[in-house]
Amino acid sequence: MDAAAATAALAGLFVTSFVIGLSGAVMPGTVLAVTILHSARLGFKAGPLVILGHAILEGSLVVALVLGLGGVLNQPLVSGAIGGAGSLILLWMAWGMLRSLPGLKLDLELGAAAAPGRKSNAAPVRDGLLLSLANPYFLLWWATVGLGLITMTMRMGLGAWALLIFYAGHISADLAWYSLVSLLVTKGRRWLSDRLHRRVVGACALCLLGFGVYFGVFAWRQLWGAD
């Protein structure tokens, strides 16, 4: 692969990882709730601090997956099975996101009552790590979709650069979204209505549908060509 093709492949990997990561980040959950609570105390920096804890966990998980499964992931039967599982999970996620749209609300007033208290930078980092670890959906995502992305990344033949770009794209999505949430809590929620939030989630759901199909095609090719 020449330099231009490698650059294009890495750029495509970053965008893919960012969009899939954003699709998970924008859905309400415990990490969003704790980001709102800490933002009421600490202001804008709470979002990046929460994601720092989240990033430490995800980075460790990526390294563990690669070190323990690198050789196995290159086997077509294994990569095809992982890709197929990832495809099903992505399609299931997209359906769930689309189904939730009519009643979806982003409650940025959650942290108002919790504003008083000691302002510790360590607390959001700790909560970002522990709440991610305690979330079974997080572990399910990495066991299927995340592992599928790592598998395809390793098969690009670009070595550590591809894994670094994959991780950078994924964590950039989390950082961008939760930084925005902290900014909105700090400056006021008038800039992000429930309607706009639903549109963002709907657009991400459509992207997940596309990536789910892509994962399915990847899995089919790997399994069909396997011995």
Task: Tell me which H or E stretch contains 154.
Answer: helix 147-154
CA distance 9 to 155: 12
Confidence (pLDDT) at 1: 64
One-letter amino acid at 137 equals Y
pLDDT digits (tens, 9 = 90+) for 11-51: 988 998 998 888 878 876 768 777 877 777 788 899 999 99
**pTM to 2 decimal places:** 0.71
Residue 42, C-beta contacts closer than 8 angstroms, at least 6 positions apart: 49, 119, 121, 124
CA distances (Å), 50 to each of 37, 120, 156, in order? 11, 12, 32
pLDDT digits (tens, 9 = 90+) for 159-189: 778 888 999 999 999 999 999 988 887 776 5
